[in-house]
Amino acid sequence: MSQSIKYRANRRLNSGKFDNILNFAVIGLLAIGTLLVYAGTREWFRSYGLDPEYYLKRHSINIVIGVLLAYGTTLIDYRLLRAYTPIIWLAAVIGLVLVLIPGIGSEINGARAWIALPGGFQIQPAELAKIAIIVGIAMILADRDQTDQDPSDLDVLKALAISAVPILLIIAQPDLGTVLIISAAVVAMIGASGARAIWVVGLLLLAALGVFTAVQTGAVNEYQVARLQSFVDPNADPQSTGYQLRQSRITIGSGGLFGKGLFEGPQTNGRFVPEQQTDFIFTVAGEELGFVGCSLILFLYFLIFLRGFAICKRSSDLFGRLVCIGVIAWFGFQTFENIGMAMGLMPMTGVPLPFLSYGGSSMFANLIGIGLLQNVYARSR
């Protein structure tokens, strides 16, 4: 009992105890992202006689909401979050089911991933599912009598089971990019939990096999095969995905060392790269800010990962550590997938770039993720 009191006293939230380097990096990326979203849309909207600040305003609103959500996330002790985990998980699964129902879910670019809300807003349940899965797995793998005990095979199976449901639902959309990111986070968390190595190796093999059979049996939609093929040979179809990938690379490459200057990129202003405020936001940075600006962006990500790992090591309990690992894996793979795609290193999968891309659901989810990290930080030793 006394232990419990001490526990609470020690771990009371203290806003001065947030990781300021992490905050700095995130705020830096949010600021750059806001400029990039504006740069990527103002000429486009102006050319149609529409409000050039339309996206800028909406993006700013998203950030404000996201920051409030992040702050809210830090208010509840992360260990108490466990209590809410089943609710979050259930909400995510319901959302993922709803999204598949025609009339509720709307289809964009061949994937049924959005639920339209009144007022022109849309939510993407898959983003919520990321948080649900990370927290859920952390809960199961960390829930043990003795803290120095490694998770049992049964725990691992349970963890896989609660992640399999949303993953299968996302495959059904289909949104392979998100599936890959979630799977990577799951594998990273299982690995870091101290589970037997056979699980990590087995899951990696399973993932490889899964991608292979999905392509072979046609479980993957045609547009996804086209995206993968255009990665292998970007000149195969000049008008569609190969076109986008080539345009994207040209746009980034043409930025050179110092870029064309903010708002001055002709490729950006001509909208030669589609989706440049969302999935291809990095091309705007590449063209207008150049190598120097892009290096700064990569450095800010580096700071986030660096602080993420530091928070992970600071955390006194496995649950906190696993949440951090999950969040880092999510941000890390999603960043690599997105920027890698823009530069022709990765196939086109259509995931937003954390903190930079326009998009409410992903912005909220990303900032909640940061909230989780700060939560763990604030309640560590």
Interface residues toward other proteins, by CB under 8 A? 43, 47, 148, 150, 188, 191-194, 196-197, 200, 247, 249-257, 266-267, 269-272, 274, 286, 290-291, 294-295, 298, 301-302, 305, 309, 312, 318, 321, 325, 328-329, 332-333, 335-336, 339-340, 343-345
Residue 235 Cα distances to 27, 180, 240, 255, 350, angstroms: 38, 26, 10, 22, 19
What's the min distance (Å) between Cβ of 47 and other proteins? 6
What's the min distance (Å) between Cβ of 313 and other proteins? 8
Can you tell me whether residue 123 is helix, strand or coil?
strand
Comparing CA positions, the residue from 25, 78, 35 lying closest to residue 56 is: 35
Q: Quick one: 93 or 297, whose CB is closer to other proteins?
A: 297
Q: Quick one: 269 or 375, whose CB is closer to other proteins?
A: 269
What's the min distance (Å) between Cβ of 100 and other proteins? 32
Is residue 124 a contact partner of residue 137, using CB atoms and an 8 Å limit? Answer: no
What's the min distance (Å) between Cβ of 78 and other proteins? 17
What's the min distance (Å) between Cβ of 188 and other proteins? 5
Q: Quick one: 170 or 329, whose CB is closer to other proteins?
A: 329
Q: Quick one: 86 or 191, whose CB is closer to other proteins?
A: 191
What's the min distance (Å) between Cβ of 60 and other proteins? 25
Q: Quick one: 70 or 252, whose CB is closer to other proteins?
A: 252
The DSSP output letter for 50 is: S
Q: Quick one: 169 or 351, whose CB is closer to other proteins?
A: 351
Tokens for 57, please give them: 């305003």
What's the min distance (Å) between Cβ of 266 and other proteins? 5
Residue whose tokens read 């096999």: 209
Q: Quick one: 84 or 302, whose CB is closer to other proteins?
A: 302
Q: What strands, in cross-sheet order, belong to the sheet with 105-108?
A: 105-108, 111-116, 122-123
Q: Quick one: 333 or 358, whose CB is closer to other proteins?
A: 333
The DSSP output letter for 265 is: -
The DSSP output letter for 118 is: G
Residue 122 Cα distances to 107, 114, 116, 197, 377, angstroms: 12, 6, 4, 40, 32
Residue 314 Cα distances to 113, 218, 300, 373, angstroms: 36, 46, 21, 11
Calpha distance 352→224 (Å, rounded): 17
The DSSP output letter for 122 is: E
DSSP 94-116: HHHHHHHSBTTEEEETTEEEEEE
Calpha distance 114→129 (Å, rounded): 13
What's the min distance (Å) between Cβ of 334 and other proteins? 11
